[in-house]
Structure 1
Amino acid sequence: MVKWQGRRESANVDDRRGAAAAGGAGIIFMLLRFVVGRFGIRGVMLLAVVGLGLYMVGVNPVSLLGGQPVSTQRAAPADDDTSRFVRVILAETEDVWSQLFGRNDYPEPTLVLFSGSVTSACGYASAASGPFYCPGDKQVYLDTSFFNELAQRFGAPGDFAAAYVIAHEVGHHVQTVTGISNQVRSAQQRARSEAEANALQVKMELQADCYAGVWAHYADRTSNILDEGDIEEGLRAAEAIGDDTLQRNAGRRVTPESFTHGTSQQRQEWFTTGYRYGDVSRCDTFG
């Protein structure tokens, strides 16, 4: 079990769980009643499309009604075990990558906690999308319900399985900082087929797995945060979310040309490489 209690917590966590709008429910109800009475169901559909479009670009549609702005409220960040765990693990990645880059050369990412859905510089995402990193705003996005899904649906319980997920997404931030992400995106745009573009994506995901292993190497040896059995938890998580395993468990035929993250074996092997050597240069999945 990861020994995370009582350690430094990162200040770079934006807890958006419990975000809610206030004061607009009555206005919305009256507007809907008017639209239905005047234009019928087609009017409602048009209103919904317009409202969604405004929301996607960051405008609160309710605030535009009658020229009167509507206040929004966000619940205070929950100081629960889950949020504290996330802040500690993010802090541990900050310590490791700041050491490897040089204290002033590593721009620390922000990790956004959300519930249900979220809008990022990369667009709208629901919890079903799973954790992701957005290079557009250099932020990691995480619905913590994924930890339960990892344990119950994918059969990969444990604190380190969750820590591996966070470290993997931070690995994508490292790729953005070093320019690898832009190089891969450019190569994907020149790809002659979807399968070729997917193959490049697999290499980038496997490198993020290797970077997660590099983090685990230093977290284990320098901060003594890991406990016996933690690495095995990470390997089980890597196995559970391999493309071939996911396709097989979904009752689908395994189609390597559609892979975007790599096989279970590949994900385990690259994580192990990073953990064993603690050397970023060993994480050249493209070479």
Structure 2
Amino acid sequence: MRWRTGRQSSNVEDRRGGSSGGGGGKMKIGLLGTVAAVLIGWYMGFNPIQVLGLVGGANTILGGFGGSSTQTVSTGTPQDEAGQFASSVLASTEDVWNPVFRQLGGRYVEPKLVLFEDGTDSVCGYSNSATGPFYCPGDQKVYIDLGFFRELQNLGASGDFAQAYVLGHEIGHHVQNLMGTTDKVTNLQARASKSDSNGLSVALELQADCYAGVWAHHAHKQFNVLEEGDIEEAINAAGAIGDDRLQRMSGRRINPDSFTHGSSTQRMEWFQRGLKSGDLKNCNSFSS
């Protein structure tokens, strides 16, 4: 991904304290922790994506174990490469979604990107590194411990555009929030059966995947950001975190009724749908 030639976003809150020059935080969970979280998640009846926070949904965030922390917050461009990469991707999403919303007759409210290490507070609650990336609709911020990208590699998804896809997906949840989709889904889930609620969650996640594809389409069209192999990296990342793959990893029978994020095939297909068309109208995952 050609990200170094792009601008940096000013909408970054760096809460990593003294680590702002050290490469993006420390992920504590590790590969064995990832596998354990998958097993515990399915045993307890949770989607392991929720346990790990892998590309978490707009309303899906595990509360931490309580408590809060005092953190130094700096704004502006981070000094380390990992932080600058995230800032550049965020800037690219701003440059894409601002004109898209103008064309729709609306205004794009730019979200904040919070970089943290170990744990942090949000309106959605306290989260530690194992929660993974998430979007909090209450404060319109995306939160990420950049060490998460090492965990993504452990799941078989490597490359800078795989990482960019993760951020694009979370920004997709922000787009859903601005469009009122998140509230509609939440209201429907409140009076739906568990199976129907899971189906709505899947539709929400697949639409965010599609929106990530829409962003990638326009970012490349406007700024020529994609390099050879980038699309494959993003598709591979989408497939690596499908519900069916994680069920298979845990040794369980694949049960589509329990899906909350979509199968690997679905996630790859919806990302590609947005990527190929660049049109929000093709991202109505709820109709299917």
Band of TM-score, shorter chain: 0.7 to 0.9
Deviation at 1:241, TM superposition (A): 0.5
Matches within 5 A, 1:20-99: 55=67, 74=72, 79-99=79-99
SS at match of 1:227: coil
Which amino acid in the other structure matches residue 173 of structure 1? H
Structure 2 residue aligned with 1:188: 189
Q: Distance in 2 between matches of 1:19 and 1:262?
A: 38
In percent, how many aligned pairs have the same letter?
53
Q: 1:276 and 1:124 mapped to 2: Cα distance? A: 37
Whole-Å separation in 2 of the counterparts to 1:90 and 1:129: 20
Match of 2:4 in 1: 5
Report the equivalent of 1:65: none
Tell which has more relative contact order, 1 or 2 (C-alpha 8 A, sep 6+). 2
Match of 1:29 in 2: none
CA apart distance, 1:99: 1.0
Question: Is contact 1:195-1:258 (8 Å) kept?
Answer: yes
Per-residue deviation at 1:116?
1.4
Partner of 2:141: 139
CA deviation string 1:194-242 (max 9, x = no partner): 2211110100000000000000101111110110110000000000000
SS of 2:285 mapped into structure 1: coil
1:42 corresponds to which residue?
none
For residue 286 of structure 2, give the secondary structure of its aligned residue in structure 1.
coil
Give, in angstroms, the shift of residue 251 of structure 1: 2.0
Aligned residue for 1:144, secondary structure, equals coil
Tell me the equivalent position of 1:121.
Answer: 123
- Spell out, residue by residue over 1:52-89, the C-alpha distance to the aligned partner (whole angstroms, 9 max, x if none): 86x45xxx7xxxxxxxxxxx662767511100000000
Work out whether residues 19 and 75 of structure 1, in 8 Å CA contact, stay in contact via their aligned partners in 2.
Answer: no
Output the CA distance in 1 between the equivalents of 2:71 and 2:143. Answer: 20
Aligned length: 238
Q: Which runs of 4+ in 1 moved over 4 A?
A: 75-78
SS at match of 1:286: helix
Amino acid aligned to 1:158:
G
Evaluate the alpha carbon distance shift between residue 286 and residue 75 of structure 1 in structure 2; reply closer, same or farther with a 3 A threshold: closer
**8 A Cα contact 2:15 2:71, kept in partner:** no
Residue 250 of structure 1: CA displacement?
A: 2.1
| Unmatched runs of 5 consecutive residues or more in structure 1 | 21-51, 61-71
User: Is residue 283 of structure 2 the alignment partner of residue 253 of structure 1?
Assistant: no
**Cα deviation digits, residues 242-280 of structure 1 (max 9, x gap):** 011111112222222221110000000000000000000
8 Å Cα contact 1:213-1:278 kept in structure 2: yes
Matches within 5 A, 1:112-261: 112-151=114-153, 153-191=154-192, 193-261=193-261
One-letter amino acid of the structure 1 residue matched with residue 254 of structure 2: V
Distance 1:11 1:83 in 2: 12
Distance in 2, matches of 1:272 and 1:100, equals 19
Q: What SS does the aligned partner of 1:222 have?
A: helix
Aligned-residue Cα RMSD (Å) equals 1.9
Larger radius of gyration: 1
**Aligned-pair CA distance for 1:171:** 0.2
Report the TM-score, using the length of structure 2 for normalisation.
0.78
Distance change in 2, residues 1:12/1:252 (3 Å): same
Which sits farther off after the overlay, 255-264 or 73-82?
Answer: 73-82
> Take 2:74 and 2:122, find their aligned partners in 1: how far apart are those partners?
20
Cα 1:263/1:73, change in 2 over 3 Å: closer
Relative to the length of structure 1, the TM-score reads 0.79
1:17 Cα deviation (Å)? 1.1
